[in-house]
Amino acid sequence: MLATETTPTIQDLNEMDLEKRMKWQSSGGRVMTPHGVAKVYADSSSNGKIVSIAAFLDDRSQVFYAREIGWETETEHSARMDAERIAQMANKRKRRTKSPK
């Protein structure tokens, strides 16, 4: 069941058929998040299921959704991305400094 007729949740979007989802997108693409209602500016899906969403809340702050993570604020998203980048750089350094046996 939709949260409201015009503001679905991620679960609602995943349950929509393609025609309904296209209608939702053309009517403004707003989604209910744990942080409030947000206007979607980018989304991706695979096999009819939402994979990721980037959206603006009414105060213009950003929120992000990723299927394997859930909803994040811009601050949470940036911190996670920075941590992932640092870990990748550390792994690359480890591989370069390993001496062959």
Whole-number pLDDT of residue 25: 87
Q: Considering the entire predicted model, what is its pTM?
A: 0.73
- Tokens encoding 60: 């213009």
Q: Helical H runs in the chain?
A: 10-15, 18-26, 74-97
Whole-number pLDDT of residue 5: 58
Between 58 and 96, the more confident residue is 58
pLDDT, tens digit (0-9, with 9 covering 90-100), for 68-80: 999 999 999 999 9
Instruction: Please say if the pLDDT value at position 98 is more than 80.
Output: no
Q: Please, are residues 13 and 50 in contact by the beta-carbon 8 Å criterion? A: yes
Instruction: Please say if the pLDDT value at position 2 is more than 50.
Output: no
Distance CA 76, CA 61 (A): 12
Q: Is 86 exposed, middle or buried (0-12, 13-18, 19+ CB in 10 A)?
A: exposed
Query: To the nearest whole percent, how much of the chain has pLDDT over 90?
Result: 64
